[in-house]
Amino acid sequence: MTLQRFQRLTAGSKQPDLRRAMSVALTVEVPHNLESYARFYSRVVQALGELDGESLRAVGESASATPASNRSAIA
């Protein structure tokens, strides 16, 4: 996800909600390069509940890598 796409997806978000989502995303990984920033943006959008097709695929990939016994705890 690019910065421009991230900005379009989050343009209507309230500042406190955006800050909270960013805090949640930063607990997973602190971005240091282009790839990690793309993951960060996707996590913020996911936290805001504004999943688009690209984010849904990322969520599906991480869910398939998570053992079934832990999936209910994550959801």
The reported pLDDT for the residue numbered 66 is 44
- The predicted model scores a pTM of 0.61
The reported pLDDT for the residue numbered 58 is 53
The reported pLDDT for the residue numbered 59 is 47
The reported pLDDT for the residue numbered 55 is 46
CA atoms within 13 A on the CB side of 33: 1
The reported pLDDT for the residue numbered 2 is 85
Residues 63/19, Cβ–Cβ less than 8 Å: no
Q: Average pLDDT of each block of 10 consecutive residues along the chain (75 residues)? A: 89 90 93 94 87 46 46 42
The residues, ordered by sequence, that sit 6+ positions from 69 with a Cβ below 8 Å of its Cβ are: none
